[in-house]
Amino acid sequence: MALISLKSFHFCSPGAPASRRILMTLSKSLSFVSERRKPQSYRPTAVRVLYSKDKSRDVFCRKNHVQLRMRSLSVNERVHLCGDTGSNTKADERWMEEQVFFRTLKSLRTSQEIFKFLRSLEVMSDTMASGALQRISEVEVDGDGLKNPDDVLENEVFRALCFQFEFESSKLSNSGLLNALQALIKLRVDPQSTLIARLLSESEERLANRKLTVDNLCSLGESLLELKGPSCAMLEQIVSRMQEKDIENWSPREMAMVYKILQVVVGEREQYWDLLNRMNSATLTIAYQLSPKLTSVILNSLVALHQTQVVPLILALCKHSVKHVPYFTDDELVSVLEAFLFFGHREQIFTEALEKHVPKSIPTMHPETVSKVMQYCCQKKILSKPILDAVAEGFISNADSFTTDQIAEYIVPFGTLNYLPPNASSLFRKLETILHARFSQFQPHALLNLLHSCVLIQRYPVNFLPKIFSPFFLQKLQAQPPGLDRVVASQLTQLFLTVTLECPFYKGPKLLPKYQVNTFLTTHCFLDVHLFKKVKSGLLYLLRKRIYFSSEVSTPYFYTVDIEIKLDEEGFMLPATQCEEVHTRIALCVDGPNRFCVNSHNLLGEEAIKQRHLQLLGYKVVQVPFFEVESINSCRKMAEYLHKKIFPHTYGYGC
């Protein structure tokens, strides 16, 4: 059988001679031979070597890690790493050669280009070799894993590199060892292979002997999180070593990596709280230096660690994140938005940055990221027309590829914020088409949120309500968290009231009384206490007696009226307690800032539908918005304002 040979690769430690010096002859080679010629001293190579009956090669995936089936690998002669041989080559000359190496490496775009470049070299340091593996992982690994496993893992150059790392692991520098481990994990090399086992064992030994720097500890921690997850015992050892280090000298990358490790190690253990508090103080001083990635990582860790008490640090990171908005990856932007939501923070300049970035990025942005942007706008009550209009356009074009949860997350904010985009007709036609095609795929609570948001902005899902009010759907709602709680029952009741008042042609099933609430539970539209007292004082000055109005009145129609005034047929006021001869009921809606979108005079959907329904139920609705009365400082002026609002066609204050 013919031999397949390639040049041997030789590593030298960082203190060894420059790459011009050939440490071993290039005629020595690694060869593929038949099983019967395998020497007794053979050990498995970097990737696990297995046999198949027909000796053919094939690649398969188990638990996301690639293994190879191929003929056994034999080494004609062991190749050793060489230490300093006494060369007079200066360290800075070697450094310049490594700079050239890494600059060239960075310019290469495929693994085949990298392998060709490596074959042209005579000798390289272990740092250079591990850097080559890292570059291969950068160009060959995407979100779905290793793109071309055959081209990488079966390449002779790759196998030679792996062989050398496995058998010379004890002679590697810390950076060479840990960078190689990181790269091989990213390349999905079998975690049970002797290569990974050797590198991990060597790393653990150096960790125990306190031979690793902060940067080394961070690299090892990142590898362990990727390979073994948060349950890895070595992570606690890493944190213990970190406690011995001087935090003030940590780089931003090191700080972010330690945060990442702490979020899976700390829990309720008090022994790490002091380290965390010191890190929080130190991070505040370097917040302005953080890259987009590191800003995202630290904010994500602060959320996971529930660090709500470090307000100055949170504010600094949130403000710093504004300039990074155009440069965040999708995942990074999601982490930042989640932090804003978790800490209850909102920055106007951050919103403005989103308004510039999101509309032009939606065609390439992942739907999950757009969903998070919409969730941010929705929860923070931000009516951003540039974002909402762009999202509506993107929904019409791409909604067929969205998950049902993403569809709901795109649409619900339109109802919550009480906003119809310019292309509303096309938007809801598209939504109706999707609902007809995929109705059964929606989770019950997501579907209810979606349809409820539609009625808030007068888009009536009449064709789907028979299924919503059916016992089968209600049972599904009840079976899944949060079940039929007060909020869910309020949504169902409001859907039923909407079709009763606004869709008289609806003849489908009704919502049974046992699923209805007595009073709607509104999540945004609570009374503004200060404004409410101000209006009541003005009313008392206007009407002279407290008996002529009542506050927070529960109606038979599920809504609570802020202030109610009753008039007889001739327009005279009646005592609030009187129920006979009532001809007109005036509902005074005292609308504080919490009933409007932020920095806007646009009512939220819940308050808009309430005022619409009260009018349909026969009330004369009089709105008292905060922005009309915030400058009024006396009862007399408030009374004048209310007189013009409530009794625009009469003169004076009397009845």
pLDDT in tens, 67-91: 322 222 233 323 333 333 344 455 6
- Phi-psi region at 63: left, alpha or beta (left = phi > 0; alpha = psi -120 to 50): left
pLDDT band at 148; cut points 50, 70, 90: confident
Q: Check residue 495 and give its pLDDT.
A: 95
Closest CA to 381 of 607, 626, 606, 597: 597
Mean pLDDT of 288-308: 94
Statement: residue 589 has pLDDT above 60: yes
Give residue 386's identity as a one-letter amino acid code.
P
Which one has a higher pLDDT value, 623 or 85? 623
**pLDDT-derived band at 468, boundaries 50, 70, 90:** very high
Mean pLDDT throughout 223-237?
87
The confidence band for 96, taking pLDDT boundaries of 50, 70 and 90, is low
Where are the domains positioned within the chain?
1-209, 212-318, 334-515, 529-646
C-alpha span between 606 and 598 (Å, rounded): 15
Question: Using 50, 70 and 90 to split pLDDT, how confident is the model at 273?
Answer: confident
60, containing H or E segment: strand 58-62
Average confidence (pLDDT) over 532-536: 95
pLDDT attached to residue 24: 33
User: What average pLDDT does the chain have?
Assistant: 84
CA–CA gap between residue 422 and residue 426 (Å, rounded): 9
CA angle 299, 303, 306 (to 5 degrees): 135
Sort 620 into a burial class: Cβ within 10 Å, 0-12 / 13-18 / 19+.
middle
Q: Tell me: pLDDT of 260 over 70.
A: yes
Res 16 pLDDT > 60: no
Reported as a single tens digit per residue, the pLDDT across 335-371 is 999 999 999 988 899 999 999 999 999 999 999 999 9
Specify the pLDDT at position 268.
58
pLDDT tens sequence across 476-493: 999 999 999 999 999 999
* C-alpha distances in Å from residue 330, one per residue of 287, 333, 370, 420: 21, 5, 9, 27
Using the predicted structure, report yes or no on whether residue 29 has a pLDDT greater than 70: no
Percent of the chain at pLDDT > 90 equals: 66
Judge contact between 449 and 404, C-beta under 8 A. Answer: no
The structure's pTM equals 0.79
Q: What is the pLDDT of residue 94?
A: 63
For the cut 70, the answer to whether the pLDDT of residue 20 exceeds it is no
- Among 48-62, 500-514, 603-617, whose mean pLDDT is lowest? 48-62
The amino acid sitting at 450 is L
**Main-chain phi, psi angles of 553, to 5 degrees:** -90, 125
CB atoms within 10 A of CB 411: 26
CATH T-level assignment (fold) for domain 529-646:
Endonuclease; Chain A (3.40.960)
Q: What is the pLDDT of residue 233?
A: 84
DSSP annotation of 325 reads G
Structure tokens given for 531: 């404004």
Which amino acid is located at 626 in the chain?
Answer: F
Question: Is residue 40's pLDDT more than 60?
Answer: no
Give the whole-angstrom CA distance, residue 203 versus residue 173: 11
Nearest to 624 by CA among 559, 547, 565: 565
Quick one: average pLDDT of 261-290? 86
The answer to whether residue 26 scores a pLDDT higher than 70 is: no
Tokens of 184: 């091989």
